[in-house]
């Protein structure tokens, strides 16, 4: 969960991205990410529970990946709770692959994070 200070600091970063998905006039979900050189990281993805499995999350991830592609990002990472099998399956469907594990990464409860990676090809015409 983001603190107000953490969110404010993230928004101040030059290469931070926050995208919001809308349904009618209500927020359906959001995604946040950041970029360092040619690597991107998905920091958070959230979709309203009643809108899950309706491609909102997929659309948000695809849009962030397009933003990264314009900046010539070639690797996109994310961490996910080891027990979050639904999220792991979702990201695997989006071509993210297991690349590592961070023991005791999460608190409340303490749990390992799986590190997932998606590599991108950058064409000469991108950017």
List the chain domain ranges: 4-119
4-119, superfamily in CATH?
Answer: Gcn5-related N-acetyltransferase (GNAT) (3.40.630.30)
pTM, 2 dp:
0.82
Q: What is the pLDDT of residue 13?
A: 62
19: which residues sit within 8 A by CB, 6+ positions away? 30, 31, 32, 60, 63, 64, 67
Query: Mean pLDDT of residues grouped by 10 in the chain (127 residues)?
Result: 64 78 90 94 94 90 95 96 96 97 95 96 55
Q: What is the pLDDT of residue 126?
A: 46
Q: Which of 79, 105, 106, 111 is catalytic?
A: 79
Q: Which of 12, 63, 82, 91 is catalytic?
A: 91
Q: What is the pLDDT of residue 115?
A: 98
Based on the residue annotation, tell me whether 91 is a catalytic residue of this protein.
Answer: yes
Q: List Cα–Cα distances, 44 to 36, 61, 126, in angstroms.
A: 16, 10, 25
Beta strand segments in the chain, E = 16-23, 26-36, 39-47, 75-81, 97-106, 111-119
Q: What is the pLDDT of residue 44?
A: 93
Name the CA radius of gyration of the chain, rounded: 15
DSSP letter at 49?
G
Based on the residue annotation, tell me whether 82 is a catalytic residue of this protein.
Answer: no
List the structure tokens of 83.
């027990």
Q: What is the pLDDT of residue 121?
A: 72
């Amino acid at each position: 969960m983001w603190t107000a200070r953490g969110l404010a600091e993230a928004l101040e970063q030059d290469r931070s991205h926050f995208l919001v998905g809308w349904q009618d006039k209500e927020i359906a979900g959001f995604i946040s990410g950041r970029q360092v050189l040619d690597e991107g990281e998905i920091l958070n993805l959230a979709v309203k529970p009643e809108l899950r499995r309706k491609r909102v999350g997929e659309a948000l991830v695809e849009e962030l990946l397009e933003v990264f592609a314009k900046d010539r990002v070639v690797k996109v990472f994310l961490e996910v709770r080891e027990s979050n099998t639904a999220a792991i399956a979702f990201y695997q469907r989006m071509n993210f692959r297991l690349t590592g594990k961070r023991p005791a990464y999460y608190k409340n409860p303490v749990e390992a994070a799986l590190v997932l990676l998606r590599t991108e090809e950058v064409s000469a015409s991108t950017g």
